[in-house]
Structure 1
Amino acid sequence: MKTYVVMAPRDTDAADRLVFVKDGFCWPAFFLPLVWLLYRRMWIVFLGFVLVTAGLEFAGRQLGEGISGLVAALAVLLFALEANALRRWTLSGRGWRTVGVASGRSIDEAELRFFAGLDDPAPPEVPAAPRSPLAGVPVTAHPPVLGLFPEAAR
């Protein structure tokens, strides 16, 4: 099952404006990271990605041609692992808030589960735990505790 973080703009609670952001690896960000960033309008992350990959490319070339490709591949892999977290960060910076979490085999199933849960009434009350027979007995002072712990409060 996939887990999605549900985000909404702060100024409205309209259900048609909700965004479901998957938690975990992002395949489009792995294969086309720059296009994915531009499509999502993540300008600050785009700039950071370009600067970091350019710096890694420069450092890799100083170490040798074989290392350069490996470093670039690892950078894109790391980016794809964190791409959706960066998307949530960007949305929260734009004033969006997290309104819930949904899970399902697909985004459609997660949306159905999320919206079905919104119509549920308040959760059922949990019955109170049975009262202890020692509930009214006063607590006596404890002797000092040995070791690094302070003396019991009185």
Structure 2
Amino acid sequence: MSVYTVHAPSPGGADLRAIDKFVFVRDGFHFWAMVLGPLWLLWNRLWLALIGWLIFAAAFYAGLSSLGLGRISIFFADIIIALLMGFEASSLRRWTLSRGNWRQLDVVVADDEDTAERRFFERWSQKQRGIVNDQWAVDRGGPPPTRNVPGQQFSSPPPLPAGGIIGLFPEPGGSR
């Protein structure tokens, strides 16, 4: 099972109008990012990460060749960098989303992205239904409910005790 993080386009955009823009990022190893690192970055529109990769690769190869290492050593260094790219591809994608003012909404565990979407939207729609379509919510713009009206959900308050004061100090100015 894979772990997916769900991202919404903006802090205020996590509502019903923006659900087609939600992004699911699978956490874990990305094979195609390892094999075709710069092309994978281009495909996923990770422009800053691509520029960083190109600068790093140029400096890395220049450093290795200035040290006078052989082709086999450079080849193994390339494999290590490719593995690192495969392991960190999802982190680069999440970093790019966070730079674009996207926020992480949830973490979902599922077998594939379709199942992750279904699980997320089941949970998320229940939360939204509770917020948007709650028929029992109090209307904050209306007058407060009155008591002693038949059919009203509120009842009369309980009668006051004999002393007339409720609390830890039953008499004003009494001992404590």
Shorter-chain TM-score: which interval? Answer: 0.7 to 0.9
Shift of 1:59: 2.9
Paired position in structure 2 for 1:94: 100
Counterpart of 1:12 in structure 2 is 13
Are positions 1:28 and 2:32 aligned together? yes
What are the superposed Cα offsets for residues 56-113 of structure 1, whole Å, 9 maximum, x if unpaired? Answer: 2223332111101110111011011001101100011011100111111111111111
Q: How do residues 71-82 of structure 1 correspond to structure 2 at under 5 angstroms?
A: 71-82=77-88
- Secondary structure of the structure 2 residue equivalent to 1:12: coil
Q: What is the identity, as a one-letter code, of the residue corresponding to 1:44?
A: L
Contact kept? 1:60, 1:71, Cα under 8 Å: no
Q: Pairwise CA RMSD of aligned residues?
A: 1.5
8 Å CA contact retained: 1:57, 1:71: no
Q: Quick check: 1:114 aligned with 2:146?
A: no
Greater shift in the superposed pair: 92-101 or 35-44: 35-44
Task: Give the paired residue count.
Answer: 122
Larger radius of gyration: 2
Give the TM-score of the pair, scaled to structure 1: 0.74
Residue identity matched to 2:29: F
Partner of 1:83: 89
Q: Conserved in 2, the CA contact under 8 Å of 1:4 and 1:102?
A: yes
Q: Which amino acid aligns with 2:115?
A: E
Provide the C-alpha distance between the structure 1 equivalents of 2:125 and 2:49, rounded to a whole number of angstroms: 36
CA distance in 2, matches of 1:58, 1:111: 44
Q: What is the percentage of aligned positions where both structures have the same residue? A: 36
- Unpaired runs of 5+ residues, structure 1, are 123-154
TM-score between the two structures when normalised by the length of structure 2 = 0.65
Say yes or no: does 1:2 pair with 2:5: no
Deviation track 1:104-141 (CA, whole Å, cap 9, x = no partner) reads 1111111111111123367xxxxxxxxxxxxxxxxxxx
